[in-house]
Chains A and B, each alone.
Chain A
Amino acid sequence: MDKIILGRYLPGDSLVYRLDPRGKFLLTFYFVGIVFLANNVASYAFLLAFVIFAVFLSKINFGFFLKGLKPVFWLILFTVALQLLFTPSANPLWHWGIFTFSKEGLVIAGYIFIRFILIIFISTLLTLTTTPIEISDSIESILKPLKKIKFPVTQVALMLSIALRFVPLLVDETTKIMDAQRARGVDFGEGGLIKRIKSFVPILIPLFVSSFSIAYDLAIAMESRGYKDGEGRSKYRVLSWDRRDNIMVIFMAAVTGILLFLRSY
């Protein structure tokens, strides 16, 4: 659990932390979109420089971002290898059966590698600098227009924040149950596949049972505190959009402009 960096929040304080989470959230998606506009060395270099600049602004140790690559390392390697070996070319450098290795393949593989890095770094940056609750508030705020088509935005937002609130609790509960079963002689991750799958029964059943009982208790507690449905509730956590966030949007627009320029260059 400790090894996965993607999707984890790291407490800290810097410019990136103080930005409005809605802006960060949307612009992260926007950035993932414009990554695909890059088509030559100059544009990729520019995007890489931008991401490194953003990481620098966040004041987070760069090592964390490298750690974030670890879980997807094999996926990157696999994709890059496929590109290297299967890009069709008129004058391959090397050819053997179905495999071709060419200059074009090398370039495309390089682009894809950088693209992976860009997307993973920027999304790691979002999750490292934004608390889960800020992300769920942003989603609620962004989904608000869907109310017009009768989409239950407030309920979904509440579900999201309860789900997020219970992630650490359930992780704790899982560790505790695993420890308790280990103390009773269960070996997790040992033996054949069937044995391994079977060893999860003593974790999953107690975990589901306790989730149901937590949900039941929470529902009663919410009702007794006057909750009826999502409608008509006020909001305690208010997101504020200020000058910094405007600058961020303008900055992103400039990035897009330069990117378009470099693309046709």
Chain B
Amino acid sequence: MEITFEHVTHSYNPNSPTANLGLDDVSFKIQDKKFTAIVGQTGSGKSTLVRHINALLKPTSGTITVGDRVITPETNNKNLKPLRKQVGMVFQFPESQLFEDTVEKDIMFGPMNFGASADDARESAHKMIKLVGLDESLLEQSPFDLSGGQMRRVAIAGVLASDPETIILDEPTAGLDPVGRQEIMDLFKSLQQDGKTIILITHNMDDVANYAEEMAVIHRGKLIAQGIPQEVFNNQELLKEDLLTLPKSAAFAKELTEKGFSFEKLPITINELGTEIEQQLNGD
């Protein structure tokens, strides 16, 4: 499903003295079945942007097209379920959405709301708990007895259980340990390779470099850059104004350049950096 934003503006508390612009004339396209990262400083409007994709927020002006569904300021709250089934959303700290008395019921909650039968939902719960790397025996436990990391995985499983075509992730790894981080990110990458569209909001540029195929930079509600990470990280203007930071590998490569190395294209992942250095050392 291709997602298109056309001149989308969103104002919070319109027509009041506390009105402020969450999004300011944003137009861009999120490609089907790709891994898109959205970055920007805190409060830049990233979360506001993605909440438009499943119509949790509606634009003040402009239109958003999700597949064959068009969201305009006039879109009403009826009949949004088909859209929300297609667009799964993992919020920041999603563990705070758990409420059922067992993990199984909580994972089944989403599919059941979207009209799945109890048997299908249960089957899906059993599949998803394994997918997120937890043991099936946890299904009978209360979600509130789990550890923070396990709760996060259960919450993610609950979103994936509805089998959405597009998955939006709002900093899904915030507060996780490094191993957990990598596992979760690898899971999303593999889902994308199986044909899902992934949209990731993150502050972690290494994740952007390692996983994303497309990236967009938001600043004060405006889209200021878009493209493949390789190119965007080469945008000197953004770097100079501190609107963007480099992934660790790229930052290291830059320091190497000052010491006499030269890279044809900026290595943004550790593998690229390793290969480049190896080649240059052997070549000399």
Which residues of A pack against B, CB within 8 Å? 2, 10, 61, 173, 176-177, 179-187, 201-202, 205-206, 209-210
CB distance from B82 to the nearest CB of A (A): 10
Tell me which residues across on chain A come within 8 A of B94, comparing CB atoms: 180
* Chain B 87-109: CB-based contact to A (< 8 A → 1; otherwise 0): 11101001011110000000001
Tell me which residues across on chain A come within 8 A of B99, comparing CB atoms: 201-202, 205-206, 209
Tell me which residues across on chain A come within 8 A of B13, comparing CB atoms: 2
Selected contact of B159 from candidates A183, A186, A202, CB within 8 Å? A183
Complex CA distance for A206 and B114, rounded to whole angstroms: 21
User: Assuming A10-B17, A183-B88, A183-B159, is B110 touching A177 (CB within 8 A)?
Assistant: no
- For A2, A180, A187, A201, the residue with the greatest tally of chain B CB atoms inside 10 Å of its CB is A180
CB distance from A41 to the nearest CB of B (A): 36
Q: Is the interface of A mostly helix, strand, loop or mixed?
A: helix
B109 touches A202 (CB 8 A): yes
- For A2, A61, A183, A210, the residue with the greatest tally of chain B CB atoms inside 10 Å of its CB is A183
Closest 9 CB pairs of A and B: A185-B113, A205-B99, A180-B97, A184-B110, A183-B89, A180-B91, A185-B114, A202-B99, A179-B56
* Chain B 144-167: CB-based contact to A (< 8 A → 1; otherwise 0): 100000000000001100100000
B84 touches A182 (CB 8 A): yes
Which residues of B pack against A, CB within 8 Å? 13, 16-17, 51, 54, 56, 81, 84-85, 87-89, 91, 94, 96-99, 109-110, 113-114, 144, 158-159, 162
Complex CA distance for A258 and B115, rounded to whole angstroms: 69
Complex CA distance for A209 and B113, rounded to whole angstroms: 23
CB distance from B87 to the nearest CB of A (A): 8
Given A179-B51, A206-B97, 4 new contacts (CB under 8 A): A179-B91, A184-B84, A184-B158, A185-B85
Q: Which residue of B lies closest to A184 (CB)?
A: B110
A184 touches B162 (CB 8 A): yes
A184 touches B113 (CB 8 A): yes
User: Assuming A2-B13, A179-B56, A202-B109, is B162 touching A185 (CB within 8 A)?
Assistant: yes
Tell me which residues across on chain B come within 8 A of A183, comparing CB atoms: 54, 56, 84, 87-89, 91, 159
User: Assuming A2-B13, A206-B98, is B89 touching A180 (CB within 8 A)?
Assistant: yes
Tell me which residues across on chain A come within 8 A of B162, comparing CB atoms: 184-185
CB distance from A180 to the nearest CB of B (A): 4
B91 touches A176 (CB 8 A): yes
Q: Which residue of A lies closest to B94 (CB)?
A: A180
Complex CA distance for A186 and B80, rounded to whole angstroms: 10
CB distance from A148 to the nearest CB of B (A): 43
Q: Which residue of A lies closest to B89 (CB)?
A: A183
Tell me which residues across on chain B come within 8 A of A182, comparing CB atoms: 56, 84
Q: Which residue of B lies closest to A210 (CB)?
A: B96
Complex CA distance for A201 and B89, rounded to whole angstroms: 20
Q: Which residue of A lies closest to B110 (CB)?
A: A184
Q: Which residue of A lies closest to B91 (CB)?
A: A180
Q: Which residue of B lies closest to A204 (CB)?
A: B99
Q: Which residue of A lies closest to B14 (CB)?
A: A2
Q: Which residue of B lies closest to A203 (CB)?
A: B99
Selected contact of A181 from candidates B16, B81, B97, CB within 8 Å? B97
Complex CA distance for A218 and B94, rounded to whole angstroms: 21
Tell me which residues across on chain B come within 8 A of A187, comparing CB atoms: 81
Tell me which residues across on chain A come within 8 A of B89, comparing CB atoms: 180, 183
